[in-house]
Amino acid sequence: MHLPGNRSQGKQSQPVRPAKKPIPRIEIPRIEDQPGDPRKNWDAYLSRNTPHPQDLARYILNLHLRKKHEHVVASIQSSLVHGQSQPWMFDVLALSMEIIGRPKAEVERVLLSRVDFTANDIPSMLFSAAHLSRSGGDKGALRLYQQAARLDPTRQEPYIMGLKLAQKLEDVNALRWACTGILTFAWGNDHETWHTAAEDAAVDIIRDLRKARRDDEADLFENDMAQARQRDLKIALSWTGTGNLDLSVEEPPGTICSYGHRQTPGGGVLVQDGLGSEPDECEDRYVCAFGIPGNYRVMIRHAWGDVVGKRARLTVTRYEGTPHEAQRTYTIPLDSREKTIRINLNRGRRTELAEVAQYRSRIRKRQKSGSLLQKMGRLNIDEQRAGNDFATSRRKQSAGFQPVVTVLNEGVTMNALAVVSGDRRYVRINAFPQFNTITDVFTFSFINGGNPGGIPGGGGGGGGGNPVAPQQGPQGIPFPAPNPPFVNPGNR
């Protein structure tokens, strides 16, 4: 029996989740006009009210424009204590405290508070270090740069910025850390400039140490610099002409260093990729300061253009800067599209893969070429090979397939997110468990046009059945498979 006016007609009602209560938009009174201590006035107001974050930010901005910097400091400190913090507050608080002349130790403490040392937040560390340096906290900024370098030794910014601060502070240990770090890990497009700066700074400080009869420190500095100059493997490919050659190196763990992947977890860096349009551009250089022991496969590809004599010169240097240094030059005849040379590295110093951050894009000094031929030449070997294979398959009137590999996790996984309160006294942890189970797998055949066993619209693995011929399109070109292979995951 249904009541009159009930139009659900037996449908099961579902519970309605209550919507989150929005933060009310209230007008903040002019607290700066109240008598007494500004901090106590803001504490009293924020203990009873929770203004909207945008309203609070707009109010504090108005205080700053009216040069009420004491009230800016008091409002932000009270907001942090009462759990109404916002990301911009630490920076504004430090600047306002600097304006009103608070001690540098307090400003430094505020800037260090924005860095969570329990997480690998390197950009936040570099940003805070720059603020500290600008406000006169050079020692604290230098410590932040060293902390960032310990978290990510392959990043060059901490060493470069730390070198300037170490020179300003005349800190010998920090200078030794920065100079050796630049020579070992700074491999950007401008690495030669920074390597020269590190060498010059080392020469000056070693000379001063010798004059001060601090020979032990000078000897330690020289030994560390000599170790920083060591390179396990260097490969230079040079040629003459208007053509372009591409150098790529396959390292023992399978990582490939090329134009598309200029820095690898195996330690290799392609520091120069010449286009061949000018004499100083006819060179590719690969450097591996710490290499993994094993066999390296050097691949040389004639991308486009003319090379004088149809020959190139490959110079391989192993264990540079050590008693086992060896150099060998090969003459490479360009009688085929690709050439491969194998190099053995027995004394590599790397024992595990490096955690290389996403290679940072840099403005290349040569942006002159714009032709299609030159753009094709700047593809890596795998991309060019795939393009050639596709072109060949089209000429032979055969269809091409590109399977997409996707990794599906099965089992129980859980992610956790930690949130630190504004006053850094409490931590709230949110857990996100996931339960994944693969319920069934369907196998589709590429050869049979995606329809094995004659089952319409689907298929089963391992079954028999009659193969189905692919459908023919215009001019005898077969259509691609109608259904790609897929895996059906089920979520519990």
Distances (CA, A) of 209 to 171, 203, 204, 213, 460: 12, 10, 9, 6, 77
User: pLDDT at residue 447 above 70?
Assistant: no
Helices (H), 170-298: 172-185, 191-211, 215-228
* pLDDT at 351 (0 to 100): 86
Q: Give the H or E element holding residue 256.
A: strand 256-257
* pLDDT at 134 (0 to 100): 77
* pLDDT at 116 (0 to 100): 55
User: pLDDT at residue 362 above 90?
Assistant: no
* pLDDT at 391 (0 to 100): 52
User: Of the candidates 131, 125, 164, which has an alpha carbon nearest to the alpha carbon of residue 145?
Assistant: 125
Report DSSP letters for 38-86, one per residue.
HHHHHHHHHHH----HHHHHHHHHHHHHTT-HHHHHHHHHHHHHTT---
User: Of the candidates 278, 319, 284, 320, which has an alpha carbon nearest to the alpha carbon of residue 299?
Assistant: 284
C-alpha 180/C-alpha 178 separation (Å) is: 6
Q: What phi and psi, each to the nearest 5 degrees, are found at residue 313?
A: -120, 125
Strands 283-288 vs 231-238: parallel, antiparallel or unpaired: antiparallel
User: pLDDT at residue 404 above 60?
Assistant: yes
**Looking at 368-460, which runs of residues are DSSP E strands?**
411-420, 427-442
307-334 confidence digits (pLDDT tens) = 888 999 999 999 999 999 999 999 999 8
* pLDDT at 2 (0 to 100): 42
**Looking at 421-471, which runs of residues are DSSP E strands?**
427-442
Cβ contacts of 31 within 8 Å, gap of 6 or more: 38, 41, 42, 45, 71, 75
User: Of the candidates 368, 327, 387, which has an alpha carbon nearest to the alpha carbon of residue 244?
Assistant: 368
Question: Exposed, middle or buried by CB within 10 Å (0-12, 13-18, 19+), for 359?
Answer: middle
Q: What phi and psi, each to the nearest 5 degrees, are found at residue 261?
A: -135, 85
Distances (CA, A) of 343 to 327, 347, 419: 12, 12, 50
Cβ contact 145:158 at 8 Å = yes
Instruction: Write down the residue that tokens 């140490």 correspond to.
Output: 209
334-353 confidence digits (pLDDT tens) = 888 899 999 999 989 998 88
* pLDDT at 204 (0 to 100): 94
262-271 confidence digits (pLDDT tens) = 888 888 999 9
C-alpha 315/C-alpha 298 separation (Å) is: 11
If you average pLDDT over each of 127-131, 381-385, 480-484, which comes out highest? Answer: 127-131
Instruction: Write down the residue that tokens 């893969």 correspond to.
Output: 353
Classified as helix, coil or strand, 225 is helix
C-alpha 424/C-alpha 455 separation (Å) is: 62
C-alpha 343/C-alpha 100 separation (Å) is: 64
Q: What percent of the chain has pLDDT over 70?
A: 71
Domains assigned to the chain: 31-228 (1.25.40.10), 231-355 (no CATH), 435-491 (no CATH)
User: Of the candidates 228, 145, 124, 191, which has an alpha carbon nearest to the alpha carbon of residue 360?
Assistant: 191
C-alpha 78/C-alpha 85 separation (Å) is: 9
Model confidence at 473, pLDDT cuts 50, 70, 90, reads: very low
C-alpha 4/C-alpha 228 separation (Å) is: 87
Give the number of other CB atoms < 10 A from CB of residue 167.
16
Q: 3-state SS of the chain: helix, strand, coil percent to 5?
A: 35, 20, 40
- Paired strand residues for 338: 301
Cβ contact 251:266 at 8 Å = yes
Give the number of other CB atoms < 10 A from CB of residue 455.
13
DSSP state of 482: S
Q: What is the mean pLDDT of the chain?
A: 76
Distances (CA, A) of 405 to 120, 358, 408, 448, 469: 30, 22, 10, 20, 26
* pLDDT at 140 (0 to 100): 83
Give the number of other CB atoms < 10 A from CB of residue 261.
17
User: pLDDT at residue 241 above 50?
Assistant: yes
Cβ contact 290:267 at 8 Å = yes
The pLDDT of 404-409, averaged and rounded, is: 67
* pLDDT at 401 (0 to 100): 53
Q: Which two tokens stand for residue 140?
A: 């604290």
C-alpha 332/C-alpha 313 separation (Å) is: 6
User: pLDDT at residue 449 above 50?
Assistant: no
User: pLDDT at residue 10 above 50?
Assistant: no
